[in-house]
Amino acid sequence: MERIQVALERARAKRGTVAKPADKANARPATPIKGSANLVEAWKAIKVFEPDPQLLAANRIPAYERNQLSTPIDMLRTKVLQMMRDNGWNRLAVTSPNAACGKTTLSLSLAFSIARQPEQRVAVIEMDLRRPNVAATLGMPRGTSQFANALEGRAPIEEHLVRISENILVGANHGSARHPSELLQSDTMRTALDEVERVYQPTIMIFDMPPTLVSDDMVGFADTVDCALLVAAAESTSISEVDNCERDISERTNVLGVVLNKCRYMGKEYGYDYYS
Ligand SMILES: Nc1ncnc2c1ncn2[C@@H]1O[C@H](COP(=O)(O)OP(=O)(O)O)[C@@H](O)[C@H]1O
Ligand SMILES: [Mg+2]
Protein backbone atom coordinates (compact mmCIF):
# COMPACT_ATOMS: atom_id res chain seq x y z
CA MET A 1 0.00 0.00 0.00
CA GLU A 2 2.83 2.34 0.93
CA ARG A 3 4.46 1.81 -2.46
CA ILE A 4 1.21 2.62 -4.26
CA GLN A 5 0.95 5.80 -2.18
CA VAL A 6 4.49 6.87 -3.06
CA ALA A 7 3.88 6.12 -6.75
CA LEU A 8 0.68 8.17 -6.75
CA GLU A 9 2.39 11.08 -5.05
CA ARG A 10 5.23 10.95 -7.59
CA ALA A 11 2.79 10.88 -10.49
CA ARG A 12 0.92 13.86 -9.05
CA ALA A 13 4.13 15.82 -8.50
CA LYS A 14 5.11 15.13 -12.13
CA ARG A 15 1.75 16.41 -13.35
CA GLY A 16 2.12 19.39 -11.02
CA THR A 17 -1.35 18.75 -9.59
CA VAL A 18 -2.67 17.90 -6.18
CA ALA A 19 -5.79 15.74 -5.90
CA LYS A 20 -8.21 18.15 -4.25
CA PRO A 21 -11.99 18.07 -4.47
CA ALA A 22 -13.39 20.58 -6.95
CA ASP A 23 -14.53 23.80 -5.25
CA LYS A 24 -17.94 23.81 -6.83
CA ALA A 25 -18.61 20.41 -5.28
CA ASN A 26 -18.02 21.84 -1.80
CA ALA A 27 -21.20 23.78 -1.35
CA ARG A 28 -24.48 22.34 -0.12
CA PRO A 29 -27.37 22.48 -2.57
CA ALA A 30 -28.86 25.98 -2.64
CA THR A 31 -31.90 25.20 -4.77
CA PRO A 32 -35.14 23.92 -3.26
CA ILE A 33 -35.87 20.22 -3.58
CA LYS A 34 -37.48 19.05 -6.79
CA GLY A 35 -40.80 17.26 -6.85
CA SER A 36 -44.53 17.86 -6.95
CA ALA A 37 -45.92 21.21 -5.77
CA ASN A 38 -47.24 19.47 -2.62
CA LEU A 39 -43.86 18.04 -1.80
CA VAL A 40 -42.05 21.35 -2.30
CA GLU A 41 -44.68 23.15 -0.19
CA ALA A 42 -44.43 20.57 2.60
CA TRP A 43 -40.66 21.03 2.81
CA LYS A 44 -40.91 24.81 2.60
CA ALA A 45 -43.37 24.86 5.51
CA ILE A 46 -40.86 23.34 7.95
CA LYS A 47 -39.00 25.81 10.17
CA VAL A 48 -35.43 26.36 9.14
CA PHE A 49 -32.42 25.96 11.38
CA GLU A 50 -28.87 26.70 10.23
CA PRO A 51 -26.22 25.16 12.48
CA ASP A 52 -23.04 27.04 13.23
CA PRO A 53 -20.27 25.37 11.18
CA GLN A 54 -17.75 26.12 13.96
CA LEU A 55 -19.87 24.29 16.52
CA LEU A 56 -20.25 21.37 14.12
CA ALA A 57 -16.51 21.24 13.59
CA ALA A 58 -15.97 21.31 17.37
CA ASN A 59 -18.46 18.44 17.64
CA ARG A 60 -16.52 16.45 15.05
CA ILE A 61 -18.99 16.85 12.22
CA PRO A 62 -16.84 18.02 9.33
CA ALA A 63 -19.22 16.92 6.59
CA TYR A 64 -21.62 19.90 6.67
CA GLU A 65 -19.69 21.37 3.79
CA ARG A 66 -17.25 19.34 1.82
CA ASN A 67 -13.65 19.62 2.96
CA GLN A 68 -10.67 17.39 3.43
CA LEU A 69 -11.87 16.09 6.79
CA SER A 70 -15.13 14.86 5.31
CA THR A 71 -13.46 12.41 2.92
CA PRO A 72 -13.78 9.28 5.11
CA ILE A 73 -17.45 10.06 5.75
CA ASP A 74 -18.03 10.67 2.04
CA MET A 75 -16.49 7.28 1.29
CA LEU A 76 -18.76 5.63 3.84
CA ARG A 77 -21.75 7.51 2.37
CA THR A 78 -21.05 6.13 -1.07
CA LYS A 79 -20.85 2.55 0.19
CA VAL A 80 -23.99 2.89 2.28
CA LEU A 81 -25.97 4.49 -0.56
CA GLN A 82 -24.82 1.85 -3.03
CA MET A 83 -25.83 -1.02 -0.75
CA MET A 84 -29.17 0.59 0.03
CA ARG A 85 -29.92 1.47 -3.59
CA ASP A 86 -29.02 -2.05 -4.78
CA ASN A 87 -31.54 -3.47 -2.34
CA GLY A 88 -34.25 -0.82 -2.63
CA TRP A 89 -33.82 0.15 1.05
CA ASN A 90 -34.37 3.62 2.49
CA ARG A 91 -34.51 3.27 6.29
CA LEU A 92 -31.15 3.03 8.03
CA ALA A 93 -30.58 2.64 11.78
CA VAL A 94 -27.25 3.66 13.32
CA THR A 95 -26.53 1.79 16.53
CA SER A 96 -23.64 0.48 18.60
CA PRO A 97 -23.10 -2.12 21.30
CA ASN A 98 -22.64 0.41 24.12
CA ALA A 99 -22.84 4.14 24.78
CA ALA A 100 -20.71 6.98 23.42
CA CYS A 101 -19.33 5.11 20.38
CA GLY A 102 -20.21 8.03 18.11
CA LYS A 103 -23.69 7.12 16.77
CA THR A 104 -25.08 10.65 16.85
CA THR A 105 -21.90 12.11 15.39
CA LEU A 106 -21.92 9.53 12.60
CA SER A 107 -25.67 9.82 11.88
CA LEU A 108 -25.41 13.59 11.42
CA SER A 109 -22.15 13.43 9.48
CA LEU A 110 -23.63 10.86 7.14
CA ALA A 111 -26.79 12.95 6.70
CA PHE A 112 -24.80 16.08 5.80
CA SER A 113 -22.59 14.14 3.44
CA ILE A 114 -25.58 12.54 1.66
CA ALA A 115 -27.39 15.88 1.50
CA ARG A 116 -24.57 17.38 -0.57
CA GLN A 117 -26.04 15.33 -3.40
CA PRO A 118 -28.86 17.68 -4.50
CA GLU A 119 -31.17 14.87 -5.65
CA GLN A 120 -31.29 13.44 -2.10
CA ARG A 121 -33.89 14.25 0.55
CA VAL A 122 -32.60 13.22 3.96
CA ALA A 123 -34.56 12.77 7.20
CA VAL A 124 -32.65 12.22 10.46
CA ILE A 125 -34.87 10.99 13.26
CA GLU A 126 -33.55 10.74 16.78
CA MET A 127 -34.56 7.50 18.46
CA ASP A 128 -32.22 7.55 21.43
CA LEU A 129 -35.00 8.80 23.66
CA ARG A 130 -33.18 8.03 26.89
CA ARG A 131 -30.13 10.19 26.19
CA PRO A 132 -31.05 12.41 23.26
CA ASN A 133 -28.26 14.66 22.05
CA VAL A 134 -28.96 15.53 18.42
CA ALA A 135 -30.33 18.97 19.38
CA ALA A 136 -27.34 19.73 21.60
CA THR A 137 -24.84 18.48 19.03
CA LEU A 138 -26.38 20.73 16.36
CA GLY A 139 -26.76 23.67 18.76
CA MET A 140 -30.54 23.89 18.38
CA PRO A 141 -32.13 26.39 20.80
CA ARG A 142 -34.25 24.80 23.54
CA GLY A 143 -37.89 24.30 22.66
CA THR A 144 -37.22 23.90 18.92
CA SER A 145 -38.06 20.23 18.70
CA GLN A 146 -39.32 17.31 20.80
CA PHE A 147 -39.99 14.75 18.12
CA ALA A 148 -40.97 12.14 20.71
CA ASN A 149 -44.25 14.07 21.06
CA ALA A 150 -44.97 13.41 17.40
CA LEU A 151 -43.98 9.74 17.80
CA GLU A 152 -46.42 9.49 20.71
CA GLY A 153 -49.16 10.94 18.50
CA ARG A 154 -49.53 13.95 20.82
CA ALA A 155 -48.41 16.57 18.28
CA PRO A 156 -48.31 17.00 14.50
CA ILE A 157 -45.02 15.84 13.01
CA GLU A 158 -44.37 19.16 11.25
CA GLU A 159 -44.32 20.98 14.61
CA HIS A 160 -41.29 19.00 15.77
CA LEU A 161 -39.26 18.80 12.58
CA VAL A 162 -36.65 21.34 11.57
CA ARG A 163 -35.16 21.82 8.12
CA ILE A 164 -31.45 22.33 7.61
CA SER A 165 -30.57 23.94 4.26
CA GLU A 166 -32.81 22.68 1.48
CA ASN A 167 -32.87 18.93 1.77
CA ILE A 168 -32.37 17.76 5.38
CA LEU A 169 -35.14 17.26 7.93
CA VAL A 170 -34.27 16.60 11.56
CA GLY A 171 -36.56 15.27 14.27
CA ALA A 172 -34.60 15.89 17.48
CA ASN A 173 -35.36 16.02 21.20
CA HIS A 174 -34.37 18.34 24.00
CA GLY A 175 -35.47 15.94 26.71
CA SER A 176 -35.92 12.22 27.19
CA ALA A 177 -39.24 10.46 26.54
CA ARG A 178 -41.32 8.82 29.25
CA HIS A 179 -41.44 5.18 28.06
CA PRO A 180 -38.86 4.81 25.29
CA SER A 181 -38.98 1.05 25.05
CA GLU A 182 -42.77 0.90 24.60
CA LEU A 183 -42.75 3.94 22.30
CA LEU A 184 -40.19 2.38 19.99
CA GLN A 185 -42.46 -0.61 19.44
CA SER A 186 -45.76 1.27 19.29
CA ASP A 187 -48.24 1.72 16.47
CA THR A 188 -48.34 5.50 17.00
CA MET A 189 -44.58 5.62 16.37
CA ARG A 190 -44.97 3.55 13.17
CA THR A 191 -47.80 5.80 11.99
CA ALA A 192 -45.72 8.94 12.60
CA LEU A 193 -42.78 7.53 10.64
CA ASP A 194 -45.05 6.42 7.81
CA GLU A 195 -46.41 9.96 7.69
CA VAL A 196 -42.90 11.43 7.48
CA GLU A 197 -42.29 9.08 4.57
CA ARG A 198 -45.59 9.88 2.84
CA VAL A 199 -45.48 13.67 3.20
CA TYR A 200 -41.75 14.42 2.81
CA GLN A 201 -40.71 11.44 0.66
CA PRO A 202 -37.16 11.20 2.01
CA THR A 203 -34.79 9.27 -0.22
CA ILE A 204 -33.13 8.10 3.00
CA MET A 205 -34.23 8.07 6.64
CA ILE A 206 -31.43 7.82 9.19
CA PHE A 207 -32.39 6.75 12.70
CA ASP A 208 -29.96 7.74 15.45
CA MET A 209 -30.54 4.84 17.83
CA PRO A 210 -29.67 3.96 21.43
CA PRO A 211 -26.96 1.38 22.11
CA THR A 212 -28.16 -2.18 21.48
CA LEU A 213 -26.80 -3.99 24.51
CA VAL A 214 -28.12 -1.75 27.29
CA SER A 215 -31.89 -1.87 26.65
CA ASP A 216 -34.39 -3.53 24.32
CA ASP A 217 -35.03 -0.24 22.45
CA MET A 218 -32.97 -1.08 19.35
CA VAL A 219 -33.99 -4.71 19.05
CA GLY A 220 -37.66 -3.73 19.49
CA PHE A 221 -37.34 -1.12 16.75
CA ALA A 222 -35.15 -3.13 14.35
CA ASP A 223 -37.91 -4.51 12.15
CA THR A 224 -39.08 -0.94 11.43
CA VAL A 225 -35.90 -0.32 9.38
CA ASP A 226 -34.44 -1.90 6.27
CA CYS A 227 -30.87 -2.07 7.53
CA ALA A 228 -28.47 -1.03 10.28
CA LEU A 229 -24.95 0.24 10.61
CA LEU A 230 -23.06 -0.68 13.78
CA VAL A 231 -20.56 1.76 15.28
CA ALA A 232 -17.79 0.44 17.49
CA ALA A 233 -15.33 2.61 19.39
CA ALA A 234 -11.71 1.57 19.05
CA GLU A 235 -10.14 0.88 22.46
CA SER A 236 -13.48 0.72 24.27
CA THR A 237 -15.82 -1.67 22.43
CA SER A 238 -14.74 -5.31 22.72
CA ILE A 239 -14.97 -7.84 19.90
CA SER A 240 -17.50 -9.89 21.87
CA GLU A 241 -19.71 -6.81 22.30
CA VAL A 242 -19.63 -6.20 18.55
CA ASP A 243 -20.39 -9.89 18.04
CA ASN A 244 -23.36 -9.88 20.43
CA CYS A 245 -24.71 -6.67 18.96
CA GLU A 246 -24.39 -7.96 15.40
CA ARG A 247 -26.13 -11.21 16.32
CA ASP A 248 -29.06 -9.44 18.03
CA ILE A 249 -29.59 -6.97 15.18
CA SER A 250 -29.12 -9.40 12.32
CA GLU A 251 -32.00 -11.52 13.64
CA ARG A 252 -34.34 -8.59 12.93
CA THR A 253 -32.80 -6.57 10.07
CA ASN A 254 -29.91 -6.38 7.61
CA VAL A 255 -26.55 -5.35 9.01
CA LEU A 256 -24.62 -3.23 6.48
CA GLY A 257 -21.38 -3.40 8.41
CA VAL A 258 -19.40 -2.20 11.40
CA VAL A 259 -17.77 1.25 11.46
CA LEU A 260 -14.68 1.40 13.64
CA ASN A 261 -14.76 4.90 15.13
CA LYS A 262 -12.36 6.84 17.35
CA CYS A 263 -9.27 5.20 15.87
CA ARG A 264 -6.13 6.94 16.98
CA TYR A 265 -3.78 4.82 14.90
CA MET A 266 -4.41 4.41 11.21
CA GLY A 267 -2.34 3.77 8.16
CA LYS A 268 -1.62 7.00 6.26
CA GLU A 269 -3.75 5.76 3.36
CA TYR A 270 -6.87 5.96 5.54
CA GLY A 271 -5.97 9.24 7.18
CA TYR A 272 -7.57 12.62 6.75
CA ASP A 273 -4.37 13.87 5.08
CA TYR A 274 -4.71 11.70 1.99
CA TYR A 275 -5.74 14.61 -0.22
CA SER A 276 -3.49 17.23 1.31
N1 LIG B 1 -14.18 9.81 15.67
C2 LIG B 1 -14.22 10.37 16.88
N3 LIG B 1 -13.09 10.66 17.55
C4 LIG B 1 -13.10 11.22 18.78
N5 LIG B 1 -14.23 11.53 19.47
C6 LIG B 1 -15.39 11.25 18.87
C7 LIG B 1 -15.47 10.65 17.55
N8 LIG B 1 -16.78 10.47 17.23
C9 LIG B 1 -17.49 10.95 18.28
N10 LIG B 1 -16.67 11.41 19.26
C11 LIG B 1 -17.05 12.00 20.54
O12 LIG B 1 -17.54 10.97 21.41
C13 LIG B 1 -18.59 11.49 22.22
C14 LIG B 1 -19.82 10.62 22.04
O15 LIG B 1 -20.26 10.77 20.70
P16 LIG B 1 -21.79 10.58 20.30
O17 LIG B 1 -21.87 10.71 18.83
O18 LIG B 1 -22.65 11.47 21.13
O19 LIG B 1 -21.98 9.06 20.75
P20 LIG B 1 -23.29 8.20 20.93
O21 LIG B 1 -24.37 8.86 20.14
O22 LIG B 1 -22.90 6.86 20.39
O23 LIG B 1 -23.58 8.15 22.39
C24 LIG B 1 -18.82 12.93 21.79
O25 LIG B 1 -18.11 13.78 22.68
C26 LIG B 1 -18.20 12.99 20.40
O27 LIG B 1 -17.74 14.29 20.06
MG1 LIG C 1 -26.29 9.57 20.67
Nearest to 31 by CA among 109, 111, 90, 117: 117
pLDDT of residue 1: 42
pLDDT at residue 10 in the model: 58
* Per-residue model confidence (pLDDT) at position 264: 84
For the Cβ of 257 lying below 6 angstroms from any atom of ligand 1, the answer is no
pLDDT of residue 9: 55
131 Cα–ligand 2 center, Å: 7
pLDDT of amino acid 270: 56
* Structural domain spans, the chain: 22-270
Q: Whose CA is nearest to atom 25 of ligand 1?
A: 59
- The residue count of the chain comes to 276
The architecture (CATH level 2) of 22-270 comes to 3-Layer(aba) Sandwich (3.40)
For the CA of 59, the nearest atom of ligand 1: 27
In this prediction, residue 28 carries a pLDDT of 66
Ligand nearest to the CA of 236: 1
pLDDT score at 188: 98
Residue bearing the CA closest to ligand 1, atom 16: 102
| Nearest-CA residue for atom 3 of ligand 1 | 262
Whole-number pLDDT of residue 69:
85
Q: Which residues of the chain have pLDDT under 50?
A: 1-2, 4, 15-25, 272-276
Is the minimum distance from the CB of 95 to ligand 1 under 6 angstroms?
Answer: no
Long-range CB pairs of 25-30, under 8 A, 24+ apart, other chains included = 25/66, 25/116, 26/65, 26/66, 26/67, 27/65, 27/66, 28/64, 28/65, 28/112, 28/115, 28/116, 28/165, 28/166, 29/115, 29/116, 29/118, 29/165, 29/166, 29/167, 30/165, 30/166
Dihedral angle sign, alpha carbons of residues 3, 5, 10, 14: positive
What's the pLDDT tens digit per position in 50-70? Answer: 999 999 999 999 877 778 888
Q: Establish how many alpha carbons lie within 13 A of residue 13's alpha carbon, considering only the half-sphere containing its beta carbon.
A: 6
Query: Is residue 164 classed as helix, strand or coil in its secondary structure?
Result: strand
